[in-house]
A and B are shown apart, each in its own frame.
Chain A
Amino acid sequence: MKEPAIRRRIIADKSFKAIVVLLSFASILPMFFILFFIISKGISVVDWTFLTHLPKPVGEIGGGISNAIIGTLLLIVISTAFSVPVGVFAGIFLCEYRKGRFAYFVKLAIEILQGIPSIVIGIIAYIWVVLPMGSFSGLSGGVALGLMMLPVIVTSTEETLKLIPDGFREASLALGVSYPRTILKVVIPAGLSGILTGILLSIARVTGETAPLLFTAFGSPFMNSNILKPLNTLPLMIFNYATSPYPEWHTLAWGASFLLIVLVLGLNLFTKVVTRKWKVQF
């Protein structure tokens, strides 16, 4: 027969565990509700016409969101082209010269940039790009999204490279390899999976951004691949259609939401695959 004190303790142990499990379960519930809701509302909208046709004017049935899909992909390309070179090299700099005063300022600036609300970044891109060029454009949207991707890429590159043992740098330098080649051909390849993970996660993060695009990419009902003209994207389209008074546009917005979620989830899953497959063991 157990002592009452011990029995109390076993009960306390078990109830604590039950609470932990219950609350963990509660934390995943919202995700399932969101997924269920969007899939049930959106999946029936998605068909070949939806993916390949342009939006129709109000009152006409049908039409698709092909321009928003193309626009989203274009914006990803532009913002990646801006942020990856700058972000990866800044990350290398922070890792290699971590003790300098300039590195301290770069790190501080990156942390501040990370905390700036996305709508403010949109305004900045408006002032920097839209005003001088005189037109809303995909380019300005790409600049805004690139600014949002930058801190994620810098931080993940720096953290990844820091974990690479000094032994590999030394081995390369001792073979008479120059410092730049050592960085480009030994250090970066060894950390490639971590750097790619950072880039993919930052893309997943900005794909759904709407606020910074309101003043920049702006949205457009036409098919457009000219990055100097206004560009439609999935989140902008969802925003414009969902706030409109027309039920058929609401339906299209659900379909677009479904597509956006699929895109972001797909990116996240792809990131996991990349991380596992390209991981370098040391």
Chain B
Amino acid sequence: MESAVLRVEDFCAFFGQNPVLHEINLTIPQNRITAIMGPSGCGKTTLIRCINRMHELIPEARVSGKIILDHEDIYATDPIMVRRQIGMVFQKPNPFPMMSIYDNVIAGYQLNGIKLSKDEKDKIVEESLRRAALWDEVKISLHRRGTFLSGGQQQRLCIARALAMRPEILLLDEPTSALDPKSSSHIEELIVQLKDTVTIILVTHNTAQAARVSDYTAFLYLGELIEFGPSGKMFTAPKDKKTEEYLTGKFG
């Protein structure tokens, strides 16, 4: 196994009394794309929301176990610092509607009250938009509102906004499920390009997408981790019977 950036150890999550995740153990390799797949309601979104501590925003949400990033349990540190190291992109593109494209990209700095000089801002905006493969399309309209963009462009703007904080890990929660096929393949290409600079965890219920882009795949079913391993192996010769049934469309 390659060098690990994040380790999930004996991790459980609950909503009130209902267990959502059960004893998850998972090691996320650095600069690779790890896909988390499984049928609806299997806990895959909950799992990544636990990784940047968004899960706890819901009243009555509880967790146990550890998630270790750089030798430190993220549940022993401040959630705000965790979220700056671990960026997140959501299912539905959500650029801030009252901000320009430019301001959206540096929103993480501005909303946190981090002062930057004009040059630093320009540099971060250009660099982040280039990394999100959006620069050429928006460089002439940087000061227009982000909501005028198409759905796929909005999603890439959200990726740029997350990248601007220079996170170690980028969480993508079904980033293409609200997009048309062309925009989706655009985002998939982008995800593959990004892995050189950032570790990616991709939640998807689209097994074909997991097979296309990911290096490793985790299969979750009813809150349990059924199988985890290199994607090439899992999609050709799954070890677990449940995985095989899911991949061949017996359920899901």
Known: A170-B54, A176-B80, A176-B165. A282 touches B97 (CB 8 A): yes
Instruction: Enumerate chain B residues within 8 angstroms of A178, measured Cβ to Cβ.
Output: 80, 112
Instruction: Enumerate chain B residues within 8 angstroms of A173, measured Cβ to Cβ.
Output: 54, 57, 83
Interface size range on A against B: 20 to 34
Is A21's beta carbon under 8 Å from chain B? no
Interface string of A182-217 (1 = CB under 8 A from B): 100110011010000000000000000000000000
Q: Is the CB of B98 within 8 A of A189?
A: yes
Instruction: Enumerate chain B residues within 8 angstroms of A282, measured Cβ to Cβ.
Output: 97, 147
Of B85-93, B132-140, B186-194, B206-214, the one contacting chain A is: B85-93
Is A37's beta carbon under 8 Å from chain B? no
Instruction: Enumerate chain A residues within 8 angstroms of B165, measured Cβ to Cβ.
Output: 175-176
Instruction: Enumerate chain B residues within 8 angstroms of A175, measured Cβ to Cβ.
Output: 83-84, 87, 107-108, 111-112, 161-162, 165
Q: Is the CB of B90 within 8 A of A167?
A: yes
Is B50's beta carbon under 8 Å from chain A? no
Known: A173-B54, A176-B80. A165 touches B94 (CB 8 A): yes
Our pick among B59, B90, B96, B113 for the contact of A186 (Cβ within 8 Å) is B96
Mark out the residues of chain B between 134 and 187 whose CB falls within 8 Å of any chain A CB in the assembled complex.
Answer: 145, 147, 158, 161-162, 165
Q: Is the CB of A281 within 8 A of B147?
A: yes
Q: How far does the Cβ of B40 sit from chain A's closest Cβ, in whole Å?
A: 19
Instruction: Enumerate chain B residues within 8 angstroms of A16, measured Cβ to Cβ.
Output: none
Give Cα distance in the complex from A171 to B251, angstroms.
33
Q: Is the CB of B97 within 8 A of A174?
A: no
Is A181's beta carbon under 8 Å from chain B? yes
Mark out the residues of chain B between 42 and 97 whose CB falls within 8 Å of any chain A CB in the assembled complex.
Answer: 52, 54, 57, 59, 80-84, 87-88, 90, 92, 94-97
Instruction: Enumerate chain B residues within 8 angstroms of A171, measured Cβ to Cβ.
Output: 90, 94-96, 158, 161
Q: Is the CB of B111 within 8 A of A280?
A: no
Mark out the residues of chain B between 113 and 132 whose CB falls within 8 Å of any chain A CB in the assembled complex.
Answer: 113
Known: A171-B158, A174-B83. A190 touches B98 (CB 8 A): yes
Q: Is the CB of A168 within 8 A of B96?
A: yes
Instruction: Enumerate chain B residues within 8 angstroms of A260, measured Cβ to Cβ.
Output: none
Instruction: Enumerate chain A residues within 8 angstroms of B111, measured Cβ to Cβ.
Output: 172, 175, 177, 181-182, 185-186
Q: How far does the Cβ of A103 sit from chain B's closest Cβ, in whole Å?
A: 13
Give Cα distance in the complex from A265 to B158, angstroms.
43
Instruction: Enumerate chain A residues within 8 angstroms of B84, measured Cβ to Cβ.
Output: 175-176
Q: How far does the Cβ of A192 sit from chain B's closest Cβ, in whole Å?
A: 8
Instruction: Enumerate chain A residues within 8 angstroms of B112, measured Cβ to Cβ.
Output: 175-178, 181
Q: Is the CB of B81 within 8 A of A176?
A: yes
Known: A171-B158, A281-B147, A282-B147. A177 touches B108 (CB 8 A): yes
Mark out the residues of chain A between 238 and 282 whose CB falls within 8 Å of any chain B CB in the assembled complex.
Answer: 280-282
Task: Output the nearest chain A residue to B91 by Cβ-Cβ distance.
Answer: A167
Residue in B90, B92, B94 with the greatest tally of chain A CB atoms within 10 Å: B94
Task: Output the nearest chain B residue to A169 by Cβ-Cβ distance.
Answer: B57
Interface string of A145-177 (1 = CB under 8 A from B): 000000000000000000001011011111111
Interface string of A21-42 (1 = CB under 8 A from B): 0000000000000000000000
Instruction: Enumerate chain B residues within 8 angstroms of A177, measured Cβ to Cβ.
Output: 80, 108, 111-112
Residue in B52, B80, B87, B165 with the greatest tally of chain A CB atoms within 10 Å: B80
Give Cα distance in the complex from A174 to B88, angstroms.
6
Give Cα distance in the complex from A280 to B96, angstroms.
10
Instruction: Enumerate chain A residues within 8 angstroms of B145, measured Cβ to Cβ.
Output: 281
Give Cα distance in the complex from A186 to B112, angstroms.
11
Instruction: Enumerate chain B residues within 8 angstroms of A281, measured Cβ to Cβ.
Output: 97, 145, 147
Task: Output the nearest chain B residue to A185 by Cβ-Cβ distance.
Answer: B111
Task: Output the nearest chain B residue to A99 by Cβ-Cβ distance.
Answer: B59
Instruction: Enumerate chain A residues within 8 angstroms of B94, measured Cβ to Cβ.
Output: 165, 167-168, 170-171
Give Cα distance in the complex from A173 to B112, angstroms.
10
Instruction: Enumerate chain A residues within 8 angstroms of B88, measured Cβ to Cβ.
Output: 174
Q: Is the CB of A176 within 8 A of B96?
A: no
Instruction: Enumerate chain A residues within 8 angstroms of B95, measured Cβ to Cβ.
Output: 171
Q: Is the CB of A176 within 8 A of B113?
A: no
Give Cα distance in the complex from A190 to B96, angstroms.
8
Complex A-B: 9 CB contacts under 8 Å: A168-B97, A171-B94, A175-B162, A176-B82, A176-B112, A177-B108, A178-B80, A186-B96, A190-B96
Chain A interface (Cβ < 8 Å from any Cβ of B):
99, 165, 167-168, 170-178, 181-182, 185-186, 189-190, 192, 280-282
Q: Given contact pairs A177-B80, A177-B108, A192-B98, enumerate 11 new A-B contacts (beta carbons under 8 Å).
A: A170-B90, A173-B83, A174-B83, A174-B162, A175-B108, A175-B162, A176-B112, A186-B111, A281-B97, A281-B147, A282-B147
Q: List 3 A-B pairs, minimum CB-CB distance, nearest first.
A: A176-B84, A167-B94, A176-B83
